[in-house]
Structure formats: structure tokens, C-alpha cells
């Protein structure tokens, strides 16, 4: 018997009673992340200023935007922050982001913007049937850019969204491995409770079977999210069989169930200078 198809619940709203506590907690995390990046001499994306007269919905959008920015800062991906899914996203946020040649940072057709937009619209409406998105393809094929553009649009749609690399998540959940100002438990909670989690570079640089710790932490994260009906967008360079070999067939089956799978076939967009003989 096949498993029942689950529909997404519409994103929850933050009510006025818990707003102040939520704002304070998120601002504390953001401040810790910004301080850490400054200490390391890295570029910092400043938090937006508070607006004392803002409505609950406006505060919620501010909180979500700050949490999203902070996750990109921690991932050292702030240069991706301007990417948009499509013209609709540019109309929703007319800020004039430009790439180094003057082009607008819009996804091209090889990055599946229409499929990602449709999936996100159904998620925001609470009518989605596909629990996860899996973007897979070669190195430099545009997966991370597309997933971050999806995250940008999700935040504007009122969905608490976070980005994290698989390897970073595993490192942060080790004893004494969490970023300054956080505990391993807080790392787990921030990611297993996000309305949309973008888990990039799944199984990155894992050629053999993962350690028991890596298997358990990864499975626990996705099991917790699935139990709450929360979607996850994965980026990976490897196939279903490779994920099964590294993290176990049960895990691969769980994320592949009711997933929207998008293949990225473009050549390496970084256009690296190559050397030596192939």
C-alpha cells in the first residue's frame, strides 16, 4: 500500500503575544552571527532597522528576512542574495540588484524558475503535494543559485526560510562545534523548525559510507521536519543511489518520496581555467 499524499499546511503567522520574545531571540542570533563574521574579517549583511510602528505582519517579514540573511552570512553566500526566480520576484522587490556586467540576476530556463515558482506558490497556498525539492547536477550547474533564489522568494511569501550546507550543519551539531552564541541544540531547533529549509551540498565530499553521527544527525533533522509536515529543498551533486550508499537507503527513500526532482545540466558556470591533461 502506498503512503498517503500529504498536503502542506499554510505558513503559520506570529501572533502579537509571542512577537516581542521572537523578535528578541532572532535579533540576538543575528547579532552573534554578525559579530562572528566581523571578527573573521568577512563581509557583513547588516540587519534591517527596527520599525516601532510596524504591524505584526511587517514585524514577521522583518524577522524572516533577517533570519534568512543571517543564514546566508554564515554560509558565506551573501553574494547570492540578489538572485530572483523571475520577473514576478523583481516586481515584488524592485531593489535594483545588478550583476557585474549590468545584467539582472534572474534565473535562466536551465535553472527551472517556472517549476520552482509553481512549487513555492502551492506551498504558500497550503495546496502542495510534493513535500521536497531535490535539485541535482554537476558542479557549477547553478543549483545553489536557484535554491537561494527560491529562498529569497519564500521569505517574501511569508515563510521562515533558512539555508545551510550539509557539512556545516553536521559540524555545528557536534559537541563544541556550534557557532559562537549558539548551542548544538539551538542549531538543531533552528533548522528542524524552519518553514522551509534549504539543505545544500547534500553528501558533499562524502565518497564512502557516512559516520554513524552524520547518518543519525541528518536522519533526525529530516525525520523531525517530515513529522511536522515541513518541506526541505536539497541541492546535491550525487544520485539517489549515491545518497543511499552514504546515508542509507531509508534516508534516500524518505527524501525521494513525493519529491519534485529537478536536474541541472548546464556546464560549469564558473568557467574555471583548467590545467594538465584529462
Which backbone phi and psi does 42 adopt, to 5 degrees?
A: -100, 160
Output the pTM of the full model.
0.76
Q: What is the rounded CA–CA span in Å between residue 252 and residue 219? A: 10
What pLDDT is attached to residue 61?
80
- Distance in angstroms (rounded) separating the CA atoms of residues 191 and 197: 7
* The pLDDT value given to residue 159: 92
CATH number for the domain running over 18-264: 3.40.50.300
Going by C-beta distance under 8 Å and a sequence separation of 6 or more, which residues neighbour residue 225? 192, 197, 231, 232
Cell of 258: 513525493
CB neighbours of residue 51 within 10 Å: 10
First to last CA, the chain: 49
E strand or H helix that includes residue 218: helix 212-227
What are the sequence ranges of the domains in the chain?
18-264
d(CA 17, CA 135): 38
pLDDT tens, N- to C-terminus, the chain (278 residues): 444 343 444 444 444 455 555 555 555 555 555 555 556 554 444 444 444 444 557 778 888 888 999 999 999 988 888 888 888 776 766 555 555 555 668 899 999 999 999 999 999 888 877 889 999 998 888 999 999 999 999 998 889 999 999 999 999 999 989 988 889 999 999 999 999 999 999 998 787 778 899 999 999 999 999 999 999 999 999 999 999 999 999 999 999 988 999 999 877 766 667 677 65
Element of type H or E holding 262: strand 259-264
Amino acid at each position: 500500500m502506498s503512503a498517503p499524499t500529504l498536503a502542506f499546511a499554510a505558513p503559520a503567522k506570529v501572533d502579537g503575544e509571542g512577537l516581542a520574545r521572537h523578535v528578541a531571540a532572532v535579533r540576538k542570533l543575528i547579532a552573534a552571527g554578525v559579530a562572528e563574521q566581523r571578527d573573521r574579517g568577512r563581509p557583513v549583511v547588516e540587519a534591517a532597522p527596527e520599525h516601532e510602528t510596524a504591524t505584526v505582519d511587517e514585524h514577521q517579514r522583518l524577522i524572516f528576512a533577517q533570519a534568512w540573511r543571517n543564514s546566508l552570512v554564515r554560509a558565506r553566500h551573501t553574494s547570492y542574495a540578489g538572485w530572483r526566480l523571475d520577473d514576478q520576484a523583481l516586481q515584488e522587490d524592485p531593489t535594483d540588484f545588478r550583476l557585474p556586467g549590468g545584467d539582472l540576476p534572474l534565473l535562466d530556463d536551465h535553472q527551472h524558475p517556472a517549476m520552482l515558482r509553481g512549487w513555492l506558490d502551492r506551498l504558500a497556498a497550503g495546496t502542495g503535494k510534493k513535500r521536497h525539492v531535490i535539485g541535482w547536477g554537476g558542479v557549477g550547474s547553478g543549483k545553489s543559485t536557484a535554491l537561494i533564489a527560491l529562498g529569497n522568494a519564500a521569505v517574501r511569501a511569508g515563510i521562515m526560510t533558512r539555508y545551510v550546507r550539509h557539512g556545516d550543519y553536521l559540524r555545528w551539531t557536534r559537541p563544541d562545534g556550534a557557532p559562537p552564541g549558539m548551542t548544538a541544540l539551538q542549531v538543531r531547533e533552528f533548522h528542524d523548525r524552519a518553514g522551509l529549509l534549504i539543505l545544500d551540498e547534500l553528501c558533499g565530499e562524502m565518497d564512502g559510507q557516512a559516520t554513524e553521527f552524520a547518518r543519525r544527525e541528518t536522519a533526525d533533522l529530516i525525520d523531525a521536519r517530515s513529522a511536522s509536515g515541513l518541506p526541505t529543498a536539497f541541492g546535491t551533486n550525487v544520485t539517489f543511489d549515491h545518497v543511499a550508499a552514504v546515508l542509507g537507503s531509508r534516508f534516500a527513500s524518505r527524501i525521494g518520496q513525493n519529491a519534485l526532482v529537478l536536474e541541472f545540466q548546464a556546464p560549469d558556470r564558473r568557467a574555471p581555467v583548467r590545467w594538465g591533461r584529462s
